[in-house]
Structure 1
Amino acid sequence: MSIVVRKIISTAKCPKPLAPYSQAVVAGRTVYCSGVIGIKLTEPMLVEGGATAQTAKALEHLTNLLNESGSGIDKVVKTTVLLTDMNDYPAVNEEYKRVFGSNFPARTCYAVSKLPLGAAVEIEAVAIVGNVEHESN
């Protein structure tokens, strides 16, 4: 059997984890990004502006984390979006479309009762590391 490299990703370009977990883990050619919320880079405080601003900041953090992992937002194959209020779904979708463009990854969205620090949204992702050929049908 061949050996698969498991690499822990930690970057100052994203907020420090709020609990005992890694920001991301690369296993082979796949990167697993922990959930990110819309907090400030230097302190564990949510950005102002509700779900829209928090989604934009979370996606900014996710983009930085993916880049640091040797991947990119265009190589995401699956996201999971957690919302504390499904009424924020349209606003989150607008920010999501702005960042992902048109070749969207597969996605699941759940309503949850609470998120860390009282966040309105949390987003996690699985992506490919390295060169990717994109196809659509």
Structure 2
Amino acid sequence: MKRYITEVGGVPPSPSPISNAVVVGNHCWISGQLSVGADGTYLRGTAREEAERAFGHVFRIAEAAGFSRSDIVYVDLAFTDLSDLREVNDLYASLFPEGKRPARTVYQAARLPFGGKVKVQAVAARV
């Protein structure tokens, strides 16, 4: 049985025709999140600030889907400039405790929507 998570309090609706997340069994796939404010405008800042807002959306979506931050098993980080990775790594370490950090992929994208610096997507699972 699939469950589509479309509206989540504190997460602006996507301008794209997507679900914020899809839950299948004990797994939840969370769509890529950006540094977007409640009114749908892009909130610019340092890479760390933008990633912090995007992670906040990811965590709220996971919770709305019935998962917690500790259920996140995989994170995908896209940057428009990989030199921003260091400052986001510090944030990442503060969000996930050592020994319980999700697997992760990091890559540089030529461009992100709204001219963003960072995009975060994730997968959560329960056993």
TM-score by length of 1: 0.86
Answer yes or no: is 1:74 the counterpart of 2:93. no
Q: For residue 21 of structure 1, what is the amino acid of its counterpart? A: I
**Counterpart of 1:135?**
none
CA distance in 1, matches of 2:17, 2:2: 17
From 86, 101, 106, give the equivalent of 1:104. 101
Residue type matched to 1:76 in 2?
Answer: I
Are residue 57 (structure 1) and residue 53 (structure 2) matched? yes
Report if the CA contact (8 A) 1:15-1:41 is conserved.
yes
Aligned with 1:82: secondary structure?
A: strand
1:117 maps to: 114
Give the equivalent residue in structure 1 for 2:26: 29
Tell me, in whole angstroms, the C-alpha distance in 2 between the residues paired with 1:119 and 1:72: 26
**Superposed displacement of residue 68, structure 1:** 0.5
Larger Rg: 1
Deviation at 1:44, TM superposition (A): 2.2
Q: TM-score, normalised by structure 2?
A: 0.93
Instruction: Report the residue type matching 1:116 in the other structure.
Output: P
Give the Cα–Cα distance (whole angstroms) in 1 for the partners of residues 48 and 102 of structure 2.
20
Aligned residues: 125
Residue identity opposite 1:68 in structure 2: A
The CA distance in 2 between the partners of 1:43 and 1:18, in whole Å, is 8
Q: State the identity %.
A: 30
Deviation at 1:57, TM superposition (A): 0.5
Q: Cα RMSD between the aligned structures?
A: 1.2
Asked if residue 127 in structure 1 is aligned to residue 109 in structure 2, the reply is no
Give a deviation string over 1:100-136, Cα, whole Å, max 9, x none.
122100000010000010110001001014xx5xxxx
Asked if the contact 1:81–1:124 (Cα under 8 Å) also holds between the matched residues in 2, the reply is yes
State the 4+ residue runs in structure 1 displaced beyond 4 angstroms.
none
What is the SS of the residue equivalent to 2:16?
A: coil
Is the 8 Å Cα contact of residues 37 and 122 (structure 1) preserved in structure 2?
yes
